Amino acid sequence: MINGAATKNGNWELVMTEAAIGIAVFLDDRSAYDKAVSTYLDRVPAYVYLTGDGDLPKPPADSSIDTEAEIIKYWQGQSTFADGLAQETCRDFGHTGWGIASIADIAETSRIQGQDLYPKIQDRLRYALGFHTAYENGTTVPSWLCGGTVKKGLDQVTEVGFNALHNRIGISMSNTQKYTEAHRPSGTDNYFNAWTTLTHADNPS
């Protein structure tokens, strides 16, 4: 788990890293914690695209995925990129949502430990949430995105990130706010997202 899964779909490594950082905190294992944070900071830029990355997304660290053809294949055949697009967007929004949820959860765990990772990941988290909630809210899918069809089903994964970025940091997030408020109160997906309205809604502290 702590060694990650560089060539698997990105939600794998993000969820694994969320588990690894939780275990490290529980065991008070600083070296395991630092390794998990390092894996996280490498994976987030390889999971969520920003235009500042260039023509192509960043490849996953410590992998053989590095040519244009390999990166496009890894991104489910998507060859046009926009702020907030994720490596699994064209797979489905369900798995993408797990990756986005873990990005927020890990940042929250580190914040509790006294390390603020948000300055390094907040733009990617912000745009990932906004990009996917826009289509969940009814925005027409353009022809350049996933061949004009996406498999929605983001589920209840936005509350933690929305609370951190909007309520605590003060970023306006209209698409994410509309989606999050429409899906309250959140329950559980029977995996690792549970009762986040109870724990995080309108709770900037």
Bridge partners of 133, per DSSP, are none
Query: pLDDT at position 1, please?
Result: 66
Question: Is residue 161 within 8 Å of residue 125, measured between CB atoms?
Answer: yes
Query: How many Cβ atoms sit within 10 Å of the Cβ of residue 173?
Result: 20
Over residues 59-93, the pLDDT tens digits come to 999 999 999 999 999 999 999 999 999 999 999 99
HEC assignment per residue over 56-102: CCCCCCCCCCCCHHHHHHHCCCCCCCCCCCECCCCCCHHHHHHHHHH
Count the neighbouring beta carbons within 10 Å of the beta carbon of residue 27. 10
CA-to-CA distance for 150 and 187, rounded, in angstroms? 24
119-155 pLDDT tens trace: 999 999 999 999 999 999 999 999 999 999 999 999 9
At 4 the pLDDT is 73
In the chain, where are the structural domains located?
Answer: 10-200
pTM exceeding 0.95: yes
